[in-house]
Amino acid sequence: MNVLPVIVRELRAESRSPFTYWLRVLGAGAVVMTAAYFVLTYHFRADDGGLLFTYLHSALQLAIWVLVPILTADCLSRERREGTLGLLFLTPLKALDIVVAKSLTHGLRAITLLLAVLPVIALPLLMGGVSWRQALASLFLNGCALCLALAAGLLASALSKSWTRSLIIAFGLALLFVWLFCCQLGWVLINHQVSGFPSYRYQIPSYAGVGLRLATGSDPEFLATYYYRARFGAASSMPATPPANMMFQRVLVSAIVSFLFSVVELIAATVIAAQITKRNWQQRPPHPLAIWLKEKLCTPVVMLDVLRFWMKRKLDRNPIGWLEQRTWSGRLVIWGWFAVMISVYSLLLTNPNFLTRSFNGIHEFMAWVLLLSMSVNTSTSFRRERETGVLELLLVTPLNERQIISGRLRGIWEQFFPSVALLLGGWTYLATVLDRTHTVGFPFAAIAFSLTSFIAVPVIGIYYSLVFRNFLTSLVTTVLIALVLPSILGNVSGLAVQIFFSDTAVGPFLKELIGIAFHPCVIQLGIAGWRWRCLHERLINRRFATETT
């Protein structure tokens, strides 16, 4: 077969990729952190094996939907950028052979994610409370997610040549496939026929809600019992609850049928990606519609004199920051996020339940979305300059290393300042008003952590963008070091104080002292200062990742 040499080539190439090893580390790390959170919350009781299994299953599902599209989003687009796709077509290979080889190779890489978490998943099985049917259903559900996430990455990689655009399309398709997967799973769970357990004749209002609860690890016994009662509980001829074997049988069969559907959908996505690759592998000029849209939507036509004056002033005052805003896409980040924040506030403030029930939760969610966007932006900082050699030219200009670092940081802060100021200002104002009316408490810790995060994330992200050549490694490391690590250290220090110093006379004093020294905000700013110093030393010594290292 012609496809076998390509599979061997891809396996050899991907075995040398650092992300192949980081994938297992990230998957196992997500599950381990989930287990640690469970232990801190529920104190690891021996009868909580089923609940722990639910938590670990949900964490693994999330890791699959996040990591697998990233893993496959560049498999075909990279070949097009490097010009090797045309060389493959000079051989007897067909487009379908290439895409099948890519899908099998990256499918094997994704399976290693499941293998890496097996030791942690085995813990609730040893604790008890998890039946073999529930474990088998979890395996098939994870297989469904794996197939659909792989299909999203393949289609995105075939549709675009740019890595960034492929990644955006991959996540967009992944969200669509999540919704389709939940609808499919809910429909199969509710409507398939099992002996002794009649199928529903009427549609439940939301199949997606049912499928989402099952896909994220909700107890199959609870699901089956709940929907059995909802449909047949009032009937006198039906028992109050179905037998246990009937409930688990229904859930397991639903997971198996959904897995078969997902395999068929992956095969269909592979064929479609092969057709797209066969049609688009050659370099073609942009479509006339794309050119027209770019001219109409992305070309400045209003207040051109003000724009020129503003850009000239920025170039004179901060030429490094000007690099971030010289294009329409860079300027879109500033006002795009600002428009999103205004739209969200306009939508939420018209909801009467917003100010009483979900006030802090929605603000924290918006803050985390902004922080993740800033992490992506800073993780790609200096990437284009490093790849094209412009960074070396910047280092021989009259600008010194401190000016280069401060200029890039100021440029990133200016990009996100309008949206951050609106978010934190609105959050503080509304919290103050509601605190006076005793509706909610003032979320000082959350606001302070968000503020220090917006200060520290660019510094840490720029440092790791120079240390690592791979964008994904830089992004993951930035999120872990800048956001996750300070929170973990702050919680661990508070737990240690409660354990070791709660009964001593100096306990309150030590508790306050350690609480200040190991507060997440203080830790975050300390890490940012340390990384700024390391970043300055790396630029002075010209030690940063290049495409050849």
Q: How many CB atoms lie within 10 A of CB 514?
A: 15
pLDDT attached to residue 168: 83
Q: Distance (Å, rounded) from C-alpha 274 to C-alpha 284? A: 18
For residue 215, give the amino acid letter: A
Q: Provide CB contacts within 8 A for 145, sequence distance 6+.
A: 61, 64, 65, 68, 181, 215
pLDDT greater than 60 at residue 235: no
Of the candidates 474, 458, 455, 454, the one whose C-alpha atom is nearest the C-alpha of residue 466 is 474
CB of 491 within 8 A of CB of 423? no
CB of 138 within 8 A of CB of 53? yes
Going by pLDDT thresholds of 50, 70 and 90, the confidence category of residue 208 is low
State the DSSP string of 352-400. Answer: TTTTTTSHHHHHHHHHHHHHHHHHHHHHTTTHHHHHHTHHHHHHTSS--
Q: Provide CB contacts within 8 A for 227, sequence distance 6+.
A: 189, 190, 204, 210
pLDDT greater than 70 at residue 135: yes
CA 178-72-101 angle, to 5 degrees, is 115
pLDDT attached to residue 209: 63
User: What Cα–Cα distance (Å) separates residue 333 from each residue in 311, 407, 414?
Assistant: 16, 18, 10
Q: Distance (Å, rounded) from C-alpha 153 to C-alpha 130? A: 33
Phi and psi, residue 73, nearest 5°: -70, -20
Give pLDDT tens digits for 12-53: 777 777 777 777 777 788 788 877 777 766 666 666 677 778
Domain ranges of the chain: 3-281, 306-541
Going by pLDDT thresholds of 50, 70 and 90, the confidence category of residue 500 is low
CB of 140 within 8 A of CB of 57? no
Going by pLDDT thresholds of 50, 70 and 90, the confidence category of residue 206 is low
Residue carrying structure tokens 């592979």: 270
CB of 457 within 8 A of CB of 375? yes
Residue carrying structure tokens 């989003």: 73
Q: Distance (Å, rounded) from C-alpha 488 to C-alpha 485? A: 5
Q: What is the DSSP letter of 197?
A: B
CA 259-75-370 angle, to 5 degrees, is 85
CA 490-492-494 angle, to 5 degrees, is 70
pLDDT greater than 70 at residue 395: yes
How many residues does the structure list for the chain? Answer: 549
CB of 204 within 8 A of CB of 178? no
Q: Provide CB contacts within 8 A for 497, sequence distance 6+.
A: 507, 510, 511, 514, 515
User: What Cα–Cα distance (Å) separates residue 202 from each residue in 206, 232, 288, 353?
Assistant: 12, 12, 49, 32
Token readout for 58 is 């949900």
Q: Distance (Å, rounded) from C-alpha 77 to C-alpha 64? A: 21
Segment of 71-75, 131-135, 291-295, 437-441 carrying the highest mean pLDDT? 71-75
As a whole number of Å, the end-to-end CA separation of the chain is 35
pTM, 2 dp: 0.72
pLDDT, mean over the chain: 76
Q: How many CB atoms lie within 10 A of CB 203?
A: 10
Residue carrying structure tokens 């690590």: 485
The three-class DSSP label of residue 54 is helix
Give pLDDT tens digits for 258-298: 888 888 988 998 889 888 888 877 767 777 887 787 777 77
